[in-house]
Amino acid sequence: MKHRNIMVVGTSSGAGKSITVAGLCRALTKDGYRVSPFKSQNMALNSFVTKSGLEMGRAQVVQAAACGIDPEAYMNPILLKPTTNRKIQVIVNGKSIGNMSGIEYGKFKTSLKPEIMRSYNYIKENFDISVIEGAGSPVEINIKGEDIANMKMAEMADSPVILVADIDRGGVFASIYGTIMLMTAEERARVKGVIINKFRGDINILKPGLKEIEELTGVPVIGVMPYSNIDIEDEDSVTERFKKMQKKKGINISVIKLRHISNFTDIDALRIVEDVNIKYVTSPDEMGDEDIIIIPGTKNTIDDLKEIKDSGVATEIIKASKAGKSIIGICGGFQMMGEKIKDPYGIESEIKEIPGLGLLELETIMEKEKNTLQYEGKLENCSGLLAGLNGESINGYEIHQGVTIGKERKITSDERVVAIEKGDTIFATYLHGIFDNEKVTRTILNKVRQKKGIETQLEGVTFAEYREKELDKLEKVFRENIDMEKIYEILGE
């Protein structure tokens, strides 16, 4: 069949573009089409590494799962990762090409159009339908001339457009009207439908407004998605997860909310466990009642380490460790747990060397070459938090600059450091997605349950299984509330 496409743009960041694309991908795939997501440019600290060792945004990973296909870097040819307030790491086709200021990147990015079209044309040649996601707002008039992610992408792909607006934050009709009116006549002609997202209440109360906005803009409202409890991974720090605090009888986990926190989706597999409470903490006052502290990944290990030392959070982590509480570090969090971090080339920071938390006899040196790989191996020599898992297969992915060396006991057979245990309470690893290994998660949590006199669990749901169920729920809600006939009409099918 002839390739078809459809693009989803939003009135703002966080309007619901990513989940709308995921819903479209799921529904169209279930209808029998070969579907691929595509986002020309993504800015997020949540990233993933493909089987071929290429880095891409997590949103397209979830959307690929909705399509039932492996995530590949051509789905997200440009990924931007903020490193400081003034610099971003630019990743093209899965590989870093260095750091730039915003002004430098603004001048550079239009030169990436051939790379964008090379990736898009691969999808065009190999799939029936592409579902394209925009970035932020399509009418940021101060930078519209250098656009490669929104209406310019729609023009490059000759794609019809759906506009998504979030009613939960208020001003939905003004944001719809303002967005459409700030477009050029040619851009407005591409907008074929509006979806209102996160609606609470009686749809009949909304209907007069829907009719009037259609008359004002000339664009039909093709669906109103209700506010629901569908649990799909968030793309970036515009997330409600950091504000939520579950209150259940069981295990309390404090996640250190680092300023440059990355891959916080690592925590999602813990969040779905029934007796686990998770809170994100930024100050010592919020700490003290946890059973486990997790120091997550970060795009700027040294500066974030300095910040948690200055705030007093580091002191609380050390105090908790001495009190026998479990401390888990992932990637940058793992590096912080050592005795020293060096950055001789200024890869991440102007600080060339900083003492670590001293929980592990290790030191990390930031190297120029970035490690990006998928990992599969086996555990061995486990006698602490992972005791009983010797011979167990684990998998995940690595994204880090640093090389870590030292005396601590490795629990994989690799020559390099992948994972470390110390005593009965400390576990540190370079593996993102470590908690997606259900036996690892269950074993760690059962150790804490035993300490607290809570009943242990014999089995659990893998995060992959959980995500599939949530995507099926999304498809059901999508079909119930979106005019799929209109979607197919827009696609030209």
Tokens of 459: 């089995």
430 backbone φψ class: left, alpha, beta (φ>0; ψ -120 to 50): alpha
Spot the catalytic one: 25, 67, 382, 432: 432
Active site (annotated) includes residue 25: no
The amino acid that residue 139 corresponds to is V
**What are φ and ψ of residue 345, in 5° steps?**
-100, 5
Tokens of 210: 């829907």
Between CA 342 and CA 302 the distance in angstroms is 8
493 neighbors 486 (Cβ within 8 angstroms): no
Residues 6 or more apart whose CB falls under 8 angstroms from that of 233 comprise 46, 58, 59, 62, 265, 268, 467
**Virtual CA dihedral for 425, 429, 432, 435, nearest 10 degrees?**
-30
Q: How far is CA 59 from CA 68, 167, 394, in A?
A: 14, 22, 23
The beta-strand segments (E) located in 331-462 are: 340-342, 353-355, 362-378, 393-406, 409-410, 419-422, 426-429
Residues 6 or more apart whose CB falls under 8 angstroms from that of 330 comprise 263, 266, 294, 295, 296, 297, 428, 429, 430, 431, 432, 434
CB atoms within 10 A of CB 228: 14
Between CA 340 and CA 204 the distance in angstroms is 61
Active site (annotated) includes residue 432: yes
Spot the catalytic one: 25, 67, 260, 331: 331
Active-site positions read: 331, 432
